[in-house]
């Protein structure tokens, strides 16, 4: 074979390798292991926590992020223990993750204190602007973005539904965590504003532990015609069985913020789909891992709200569900 043909063949082979090399390099870069931290404010063995994590991981998989192939998820479960929150925040930040996903005002505050560079995506904060976490909803700025738990106007809806399902109610206690009073002020203000129009008197029960929940509800129940609004902080989520049991023991109609209270025996709930918040958070994580800045991603309100009714609990309380409320329920538990 002539020498020039051999040289030409070698050149083509080398050229092909040169073209293939950057393609292989780019493929290898796409498969580089990225790191996601997850800080959960409810216990690891809670079914709700597992449902949220499962939804988050499944949505990441749909977007091409597969655990232990091109992404590693480091999760921590401090629940409502503030000391463990700080310790686990330090652990996660030390791992130098590409992004951290969390929920709850206490967790977000601890993360912001620990880092102003690692992107943070929250999957449930009632008032991130009021808490000082972001500049505004449309353009958060800094390293934080995410999804609202609900808007304050929703709080008045809880009161209206309670009066609708239990018309005899003239006194309503709003149970909320002491650690969340700053962000809960807007919620309570919305409820207070709506109270005169439905003929009820409202008062807060601020709690920090399970014992305070029981003491507060028991004291409130000593007077007649009472009802409860149970807000959705991590303490109430962790002790939801206690909340439901106290409402049943004292025969208090109660409105809750999420479905899992009602599936556990609560009367009625209205609020966003909490699991869906973690699916949506996965979408923001995907965009951040692909190069977008959290400060440029707008904080979004929930898109899925649901009403859930427990007819067995209503019968036990001697309540008749209004047909209009029954017709608009997304789920009815017999």
* Start-end of H helices in the chain: 3-30, 47-62, 82-94, 105-114, 153-165, 181-198, 210-220, 234-238, 240-249, 259-263, 274-289, 311-316, 323-328
The pLDDT tens digits for 258-273 are 999 999 999 999 999 9
The closest alpha carbon to 27, from 82, 73, 78, 64, belongs to: 64
pTM over 0.85, yes/no: no
- Is pLDDT of 208 > 50? yes
Confidence tier at 183 by pLDDT (50, 70, 90): low
Q: What structural domains and CATH numbers belong to the chain? A: 30-148+274-303 (3.40.50.2300), 153-273+306-333 (3.40.50.2300)
Using DSSP's 3-state secondary structure scheme, residue 163 falls into: helix
Contact 244, 230 (CB under 8 A): no
The pLDDT tens digits for 121-162 are 999 888 899 889 999 999 999 999 999 988 777 888 999 999
- Is pLDDT of 12 > 50? no
Partnered with residue 39 across adjacent β-strands are 76, 102
């Amino acid at each position: 074979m002539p020498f020039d043909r051999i040289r030409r063949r070698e050149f083509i082979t080398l050229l092909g390798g040169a073209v293939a090399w950057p393609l292989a390099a780019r493929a290898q870069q796409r498969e580089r292991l990225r790191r996601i931290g997850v800080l959960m404010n409810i216990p690891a063995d809670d079914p709700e926590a597992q449902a949220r994590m499962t939804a988050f991981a499944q949505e990441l998989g749909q977007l091409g992020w597969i655990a232990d192939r091109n992404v590693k998820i480091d999760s921590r479960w401090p629940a409502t223990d503030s000391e463990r929150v700080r310790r686990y925040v330090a652990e996660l930040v030390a791992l130098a993750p590409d992004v951290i996903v969390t929920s709850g005002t206490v967790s977000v505050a601890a993360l912001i204190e620990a880092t102003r560079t690692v992107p943070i995506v929250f999957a449930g904060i009632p008032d991130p602007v009021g808490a000082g976490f972001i500049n505004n909803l449309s353009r958060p700025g800094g390293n934080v973005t995410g999804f609202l738990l609900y808007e304050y106007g929703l709080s008045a809806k809880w009161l209206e539904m309670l009066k609708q399902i239990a018309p005899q109610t003239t006194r309503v206690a709003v149970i909320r965590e002491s650690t969340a009073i700053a962000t809960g002020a807007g919620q309570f203000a919305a409820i207070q504003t709506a109270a005169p129009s439905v003929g009820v008197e409202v008062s807060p029960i601020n709690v920090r532990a399970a014992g305070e929940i029981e003491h507060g509800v028991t004291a409130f129940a000593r007077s007649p015609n009472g009802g409860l609004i149970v807000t959705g902080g991590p303490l109430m989520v962790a002790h939801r069985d206690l909340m439901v049991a106290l409402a049943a023991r004292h025969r208090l109609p109660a409105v809750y913020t999420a479905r899992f209270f009602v599936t556990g025996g609560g009367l009625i709930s209205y609020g966003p789909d909490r699991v869906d918040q973690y699916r949506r958070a996965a979408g923001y994580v995907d965009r951040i891992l692909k190069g977008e800045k959290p400060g440029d991603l707008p904080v979004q309100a929930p898109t899925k709200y649901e009403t859930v009714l427990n007819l067995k609990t209503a019968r036990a309380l001697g309540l008749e569900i209004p047909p209009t409320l029954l017709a608009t329920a997304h789920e009815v538990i017999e």
